[in-house]
Structure 1
Amino acid sequence: MNIPTFLSALTGGDLPATAVAEERCLMPPIGCGEPLVDEDGTARVFWDESEAARYQAEWRITGLCPGCQDSLGGEGDE
């Protein structure tokens, strides 16, 4: 089984490429399924352009929104 097939099985067919195309996070149980921009037009505020670029690059690869990326831990955690 390859990685896209495995992810598809876990998420009921949702893949990072689909989430990115639809500008949202991966569906549960991996992500939250929420859009990147709320209905009222608000989006997450970043400290600087560099931070925003890192989150966007990671989202394009994983399909996980900044909140879900943060919940995984790792670099930048306090």
Structure 2
Amino acid sequence: MTIPDFLAALSGGDLSTDAVREERCLKPPIGCGQPLIAEDGTTRVFWDEAEAARYQAEWRITGLCPRCQDALVATEEAS
């Protein structure tokens, strides 16, 4: 089994490349599946450009939106 096949099996067939291409978060059970830009055109507000760049870089790798990235970090810190 290849790494992409393994990741697809874990995520129910959804890969970070799919999420990035479709400008959304990974689908559940890993992410929330929500688009990065809400239907009303709103997005998350970042403190500065550096913070926005960090979240975007992480999203391109993991496929997780900022809210899901924050939840993952909070879970790791609680452990």
TM-score (norm 2): 0.88
Pairwise CA RMSD: 1.4
Query: How far did residue 46 of structure 1 move?
Result: 0.1
Distance (Å, rounded) in 1 between the aligned partners of 2:47 and 2:11 = 31
One-letter amino acid matched to 1:39: E
Aligned to 2:25: 25
Percent sequence identity over matched residues?
75
Structure 1 spans left out of the alignment, 5+ residues? none
Give CA-to-partner distance per residue, 1:8-35, whole Å, 9 cap, x none.
Answer: 0122211000000000000011100000
Distance (Å, rounded) in 2 between the aligned partners of 1:25 and 1:73 = 16
- Give the helix-richer structure, 1 or 2: 2
One-letter amino acid matched to 1:21: R
Distance (Å, rounded) in 1 between the aligned partners of 2:16 and 2:33 = 11
Q: Which runs of 4+ in 1 moved over 6 A?
A: none
Aligned to 2:73: 73
Structure 2 spans left out of the alignment, 5+ residues? none
TM-score (norm 1): 0.89
Query: How far did residue 3 of structure 1 move?
Result: 2.6
SS in structure 2 opposite 1:36? Answer: coil
**Structure 1 position 61 matched with structure 2 position 61:** yes
**Structure 1 position 3 matched with structure 2 position 3:** yes
Aligned length: 75
